[in-house]
Structure 1
Amino acid sequence: MYARKCLTFLLFVVHIKLSRNQVLLFGPCIEVETVKFFDIEKFLGLWYEIERFPTSYEEFGQCAYKRFQACGRRIEIEHGFIKNDILYIVHVNSTYAPGNDAIFKFKKNNIDSLGIPMSILATDYTNYAVVYGCKNNDTIDIKYRITSRKSPI
């Protein structure tokens, strides 16, 4: 009986730890329509995150941004955020190819263990972008972000 209570408590603690930083929705990813005739050259540069679902690696980070840079035949995305007065910066490479849909694909890595793609649902290239990410797995990790060229601070 004691072992069962301990196991139940342990599972509860693990559940809270895992779920407090991710927004998990179950079922298949919804089909979304990305920006038609996406112009990567106009999209490159600095974007500030205005709203987002939290992700596990940010854990309550603030003042987040993404910088999209062309590096040869790939797009490098620099993601920065502040947590406990420390600026954290993560660099990831995308397999985006000009002329494709507005979807940036990533390989699994130490930061994002699922390799969740980033789809641009809407943008005017100068003021805002709505970004969505989802990947089918045993658990589904869904992220929405609303970004802006202007810092919210």
Structure 2
Amino acid sequence: MKVVGVAVMMVMVVSTAAGHDWGWGSCPSIKTFPNLDVDKFLGMWYVIQQTDTTSSCLTMDYSRSSPTQLRATKSRQLLVLDSFSIEHTNSYTAKLDMPDLDNPAAMRVKWPLNLAGKADYKVVDTDYDNYAVVFECQKFANFLHRKSTAILARSPSLSNEIISEERKALNDMGISTGDLDAIDHSVCVRREDSGLNIDIDEETIKKMLKDASQSVRNIASQLAGGASDLAASLAELSRTLASTGSNQEAVAIID
């Protein structure tokens, strides 16, 4: 699918509002998992519960970029696209910095579309083989923050006993679990079977902005050329925003 409609892009934009909870003041002080073995933590995790989300088939895949940096790739399906029977997958890749190797569980994350910059990203608990809990928080303007919590598992399901224990531990740390939503992994589209694969990382964003900027400049240069030239340039901009140029992948904005 070379060209994806603007409507699909807007669905992705709206989805940026989900997955977080807002609060007053600074981010809460949360203890990290002691002596995290990063290499054991790496790999694919299924998100079992996460703050305020309507996504399904949500996973997190962690890989190492360097001794002090990881890549975190979030993959999911969106309920609103499912409702239109659009088989799709999408992934969104962030950079995770480990500024203190004596406490690698306390990281800093930069998602490509987060214009506010980096956020705290903490591994709160894990046994490496079955479950993990991560907490993300970002401060805004000295009086506001947004935060997100996720309970992860190495398989698509996790025992109710472990979920209850982790939720209780979070509540004891002052992290509300009332807005944690369960993630459905029962009917998931495999990437190779999907007609729409949406992949976003820092390089994709740079390319999209560069292409869009060129189209805007073309529009400006055509303003004196008459309505027909301007209409052609506007059409070019629409095509640029709706396609990455790949036959199988499309640009969208997700967080």
8 Å contact kept, 2:93–2:111: no
Map 1:98-117 → 2, pairs under 5 A: 98-107=101-110, 109-111=112-114, 113-117=116-120
Q: Deviations over 1:31-61 (max 9, x none)?
A: 1110111100110111110001136xxxx22
Identify if the C-alpha distance between structure 1 residues 72 and 36 changes in structure 2 by more than 3 Å, giving closer, same or farther. same
Task: Work out which of the residue numbers 50, 56, 62 in structure 1 matches 2:56.
Answer: 62
Q: Which runs of 5+ in 2 are unaligned?
A: 1-13, 82-86, 158-184, 186-255
Q: Secondary structure at the match of 1:24?
A: strand
Map 1:1-153 → 2, pairs under 5 A: 21=18, 22-54=20-52, 60-73=54-67, 74-83=69-78, 84=81, 85-96=87-98, 98-107=101-110, 109-111=112-114, 113-138=116-141, 139-152=144-157, 153=185
Identify if the C-alpha distance between structure 1 residues 37 and 82 changes in structure 2 by more than 3 Å, giving closer, same or farther. same
Partner Cα distance (1:34, 1:145) in 2: 14
Post-superposition offset of 1:76: 1.0
Partner Cα distance (1:106, 1:69) in 2: 14
Percentage of matched positions with identical amino acids: 20
Q: Secondary structure at the match of 1:106?
A: strand
Post-superposition offset of 1:20: 6.2
Identify if the C-alpha distance between structure 1 residues 150 and 33 changes in structure 2 by more than 3 Å, giving closer, same or farther. same
Tell me which structure has the larger Cα radius of gyration.
Answer: 2
Q: Secondary structure at the match of 2:39?
A: helix
- Match of 2:93, as an amino acid? H
Normalised by the size of structure 2, how large is the TM-score? 0.47
Identify if the C-alpha distance between structure 1 residues 23 and 91 changes in structure 2 by more than 3 Å, giving closer, same or farther. same
Post-superposition offset of 1:135: 1.9
Q: Secondary structure at the match of 1:150?
A: coil
RMSD: 2.4
The structure richer in helix per residue is 2
